[in-house]
Amino acid sequence: MKILIIEDEKSLREVMTRSLEKERFVVEEAPDYPSALQKINDYDYDCILLDIMLPGGSGLSILEELKKIRKRESVIIISAKDSIEDKVLGLDLGADDYLAKPFHLAELNARVKSVIRRKQNEGELQITIGNLTVFPDRHSATVNGKELKLNRKEFDLLYYFTTNPDRLINKTALAESIWGDRIDQADSLDFIYSQVKNLRKKLKTAEAEAEIKAVYGFGYKLVSTPEA
């Protein structure tokens, strides 16, 4: 799951990033309006943490841009402003939640998990495809109730596939979902190939009713394969 922090205060941004990374989120940062605008246009996120007062522009304008380009990201406004007017305006523009500074990191983490669950998983604590069940909050998956042994990257890939079923996904998109804008940390896209290969094998061995199909020249696609 990928988070974008749009916040100009460097120390707060770094603390938030470390906290969310401990919760196994992929985190990207934008310190000002121009960089935030570029990121929301170039990438997809599960949740955006948005400060209202930004160098170069307003966070409320970011909300308007998200609406304009029809992005579905969950948005939590994080601002020192705690007036009713700011809350109402932000929520009217499409924000999902509002958290006033200062705040506890535990509350931030809980709010992020809550808005992602509400929007992407329709409020459910799990994603089910056939006999495969993914538990995002626990970072685990089962097939027929039996735990599927996955490393962190394999789980991240499985979560991304299960939130994008029947969709063709290329290797670059998969790499971005795992490393975000630090994609250069991957040795190469061959790493993605090896991780997907391992994940496909584990799903097949467990007799999961879901299969990751390779689409030659493009990437991969998760499809349901229920037993007859």
Please report the pLDDT score of residue 228 as a whole number: 36
Residue type for 183, please?
I
Predicted local distance difference test score (pLDDT) of residue 171:
83
Weakly modelled stretches of the chain, pLDDT under 50: 186, 228
Q: Which CATH superfamily is domain 2-120 in?
A: Response regulator (3.40.50.2300)
Res 172: pLDDT = 81
Residue 177: per-residue pLDDT: 75
pLDDT of residue 211: 94
Long-range contacts of 168-176 (CB under 8 A, 24+ apart): 168/215, 168/218, 168/219, 168/220, 168/221, 169/219, 169/220, 169/221, 170/218, 170/219, 171/219, 173/219, 174/219, 174/220, 176/2, 176/43
Single pTM value for the model = 0.69
Tens digit of pLDDT for each residue in 48-63?
Answer: 999 988 999 988 899 9
Of the candidates 58, 41, 57, 59, the residue with the CA atom closest to the CA atom of residue 49: 59
Tell me how far apart the alpha carbons of residues 157 and 171 are, in angstroms, rounded to a whole number: 11
Q: Which amino acid is at 44?
A: D
Q: What is the pLDDT of residues 81-119, one digit of tens each?
A: 666 777 788 888 888 899 888 889 999 998 998 888 776
Domain ranges in the chain are 2-120, 127-224
pLDDT at 184: 60
List, in order, residues 6 or more apart from 73 with CB less than 8 Å away. Answer: 4, 40, 44, 45, 46, 47, 48, 66
CATH of 127-224 among 1.10.3720.10, 1.10.10.10, 1.10.238.10, 1.20.1600.10: 1.10.10.10
